[in-house]
Structure 1
């Protein structure tokens, strides 16, 4: 008798595929921000520290939009949440037109903020949405599978950025044209999704039937912040995205200054690092069939502590290859922290999702600190993410104790 839970059910396939495509969309925009970071340094003549405000605009939107997105989703449902997110995403992309015409860094930051509000809404909706499309025992696998396509988008972003921005006209016209196309594509996707019928969903987080437990949820009357594993997940996600934001923001600078690559070639290596992240997510999805996700999370965090130590030494190709491997070990962290934080949250799942999304603000704060160090030595800036990975290791290592229902 095969008691292995299914990955999903046939009735959810169309919706699952569509929602998975959303992960691809915000993967493109997230890594495109890192290409813009370097491009603005050159075209608008700003420092590394000031260019880090690109990441602050993007990730700050996650902090602002986290709770409103959760409230909207709770009142109007997952489908309406997706449509709101796509609308904001498209509007933000079209706002690149006046920003480019005015050659305004503040204008670009405003456009990125609106676009990222859409990304934040999609992220708040998509994770519990994907988790609900089947048995909770396979929710970690589904979320990691969907997040793997975020990695695909992460590959496309720097490749497109290299071809259109770095190798095109060294001005803002190419940026404007690129984001007009992005805005139009997102608008078409929103119209298509409006006609997709979403089957009735039963939130699988209401009953603890995950990989670790089949017992009913204990202490269902707990307040949101009395769930220790959820609180630690918010903290871990903040540090996780802080490490991501800083690592990605200065990748091209590292390639240019330490490895003496052109910006276009450094951008191509950035795309390769996204391939590493995609491989890591598919590998992680497979390994979670045999290794508890919280244990795998702790192991990958230790891997990145080692990688950051090597990168910070500026050893040439050894350090640069380690910089690529940071994304391999980083791969499972965001979706796994998200999924572990939502375990056994019952009716509070959607609210919990909003707070975990708010933790993404770390990605806007950390690049500012790394930028100050990178102004003098970009390699030494990579000592800072070690703090973040230590926090993530502690979350994974202590998860069983934090969530008493995990056995």
Structure 2
């Protein structure tokens, strides 16, 4: 882009050291700045992107449960929401990396905003036509945009300063991702959930009101029943009632669908407008380019180099398992709370908000701890604690299990940016661009594992389904141990 200001030739290795030059540049003797002053505005604007994709992630998570009831589909089918959402990352990460090579980080961010807005706006025809598959297409396109944003923003942040503080800088930027997530959760809990007709229907089933009795296949001359006891769980009672409503009173069921999908549509239209505003802001703002002095090597050669580096190769695998664990834990908090504790959708979403607050606080705490503890050691320790909490969610009943489930978020807060930083440590800038795409492609774990866990919930129950994220945390713990016992020494020696 012609209007971008050039950086300082930041084409050195991400793992190299040049503290003296950095100290003089920042004017702070003896200290290496996390974000040098000349990059501060670019850092702030780019960090806003982290919040924007956090909003998209967490306004979408509750829809797995909402669509199950509104469209009357199975847990496996409703998990296609996450399959489409995170599958878009896998599809578009490499094209995004190619775009960055040919143009710039700023250009990739702008394309990301455009695709994000387009996908969000597809909620309009999806809701107006009561069409589940248009929603799925919209989520898929929306995450084309998120793939562009994440593939560009993560290495862009790493480049905005000295390599010694790259992991700290990325953790700092990633700390604002939960702010967007919390906003998405807040909107879901306070605007979406309370205004859904299916939420009112669930309440009527829970209270055994006459409005619910008309949609069950029995008569109760001696008083209203406890539907949760009669059908095993309140969830099963709601599903039966909605199926009967669809069969006995199709116009009422269709009206309920159209109303609820209209409620779902509104936040997507609003966020599309916000994203288009950021697109205009980036178009008018000068940003550093960090242009390489020589062209990058061919993609095939770079890929061969990357796959030959154990810390990168294993980092991609660990990232896939991490994202799968994160999305399953956060998506199915709602199922766990509603099915195991008897919460309403809004109440269950409130527990999801508690999890995100814990995640946010822990992110800042863990970023501080990285000053004193190596990333690999801290990653391994948190993964071990996450294994313990996940086992608690599986084995402990009711609210105790739910508390264990939300406490997993304290352990997950460090994982994504730290795995990312470890995997790219010591890589030249041309390798880091392609390496970033591989790590974003690893987000496909968030597409595959929720689909698998949805099937486990249908067949084994919600609590036993959490053996899946438990296995993921075992993989992450192994990567953390290998990082401080082997990879750190190999990268330093290279």
TM-score class, shorter-chain normalisation, is over 0.9
3-state SS in 2 of match to 1:260: coil
Q: Which residue of 2 aligns with 1:184?
A: 273
Q: Which residue of 2 aligns with 1:342?
A: 424
The 2-side partners of 1:243 and 1:200 are apart by 34
The 2-side partners of 1:198 and 1:221 are apart by 28
> Does the Cα contact within 8 Å between 1:132 and 1:202 map onto a contact in 2?
no
C-alpha offsets along residues 237-294 of structure 1, whole Å, 9 cap, x if unaligned?
1111111121122110101111111110111110111111111110111000000111
Q: 1:86 aligns with which of 94, 113, 122?
A: 113
Q: Which residue of 2 aligns with 1:268?
A: 350
- Per the alignment, do residues 265 and 77 of structure 1 end up closer, same or farther by CA in structure 2, a change over 3 Å counting? same
> Does the Cα contact within 8 Å between 1:40 and 1:46 map onto a contact in 2?
yes
Q: 1:44 aligns with which of 71, 81, 85?
A: 71
The 2-side partners of 1:260 and 1:221 are apart by 49
The 2-side partners of 1:272 and 1:136 are apart by 34
CA deviation after TM superposition for structure 1 residue 199, in Å: 2.9
Ranges in structure 2 where 5+ consecutive residues have no aligned partner: 1-27, 198-259, 293-301
The 2-side partners of 1:99 and 1:314 are apart by 40
- Per the alignment, do residues 31 and 221 of structure 1 end up closer, same or farther by CA in structure 2, a change over 3 Å counting? closer
> Does the Cα contact within 8 Å between 1:234 and 1:341 map onto a contact in 2?
yes
Give matches, 1:8-27, under 5 Å. 8-27=35-54
C-alpha offsets along residues 29-62 of structure 1, whole Å, 9 cap, x if unaligned?
1011111111111111111111111010011111
- Per the alignment, do residues 79 and 200 of structure 1 end up closer, same or farther by CA in structure 2, a change over 3 Å counting? closer
What count of residue pairs does the alignment treat as equivalent?
A: 391
3-state SS in 2 of match to 1:199: coil
Q: 2:471 aligns with which of 365, 370, 387?
A: 387
The 2-side partners of 1:36 and 1:221 are apart by 37
3-state SS in 2 of match to 1:4: coil
CA deviation after TM superposition for structure 1 residue 2, in Å: 5.2
Give matches, 1:269-348, under 5 Å. 269-346=351-428, 347-348=430-431
> Does the Cα contact within 8 Å between 1:139 and 1:339 map onto a contact in 2?
yes
The 2-side partners of 1:276 and 1:51 are apart by 27
The 2-side partners of 1:150 and 1:62 are apart by 17
Q: Which residue of 2 aligns with 1:228?
A: 310
The 2-side partners of 1:393 and 1:2 are apart by 37
CA deviation after TM superposition for structure 1 residue 406, in Å: 4.1
Q: Which residue of 2 aligns with 1:213?
A: none
> Does the Cα contact within 8 Å between 1:239 and 1:392 map onto a contact in 2?
yes
- Per the alignment, do residues 225 and 80 of structure 1 end up closer, same or farther by CA in structure 2, a change over 3 Å counting? same
CA deviation after TM superposition for structure 1 residue 200, in Å: 4.7
CA deviation after TM superposition for structure 1 residue 201, in Å: 2.8
> Does the Cα contact within 8 Å between 1:11 and 1:199 map onto a contact in 2?
no
The 2-side partners of 1:390 and 1:378 are apart by 20
Higher Rg of the two aligned structures? 2
The 1-side partners of 2:279 and 2:291 are apart by 24
> Does the Cα contact within 8 Å between 1:157 and 1:271 map onto a contact in 2?
no
3-state SS in 1 of match to 2:48: helix
Q: Give me the TM-score of the superposition, normalised by structure 1.
A: 0.93
The alignment status of 1:72 with 2:99, answered yes or no, reads: yes
The 2-side partners of 1:311 and 1:64 are apart by 33
Give matches, 1:87-236, under 5 Å. 87-170=114-197, 171-201=260-290, 223-236=305-318
C-alpha offsets along residues 89-109 of structure 1, whole Å, 9 cap, x if unaligned?
001011110011111111100
Q: Which residue of 2 aligns with 1:402?
A: 487
Per mean C-alpha deviation after superposition, the further-off stretch among 328-337 and 314-323 is 314-323
CA deviation after TM superposition for structure 1 residue 132, in Å: 0.7
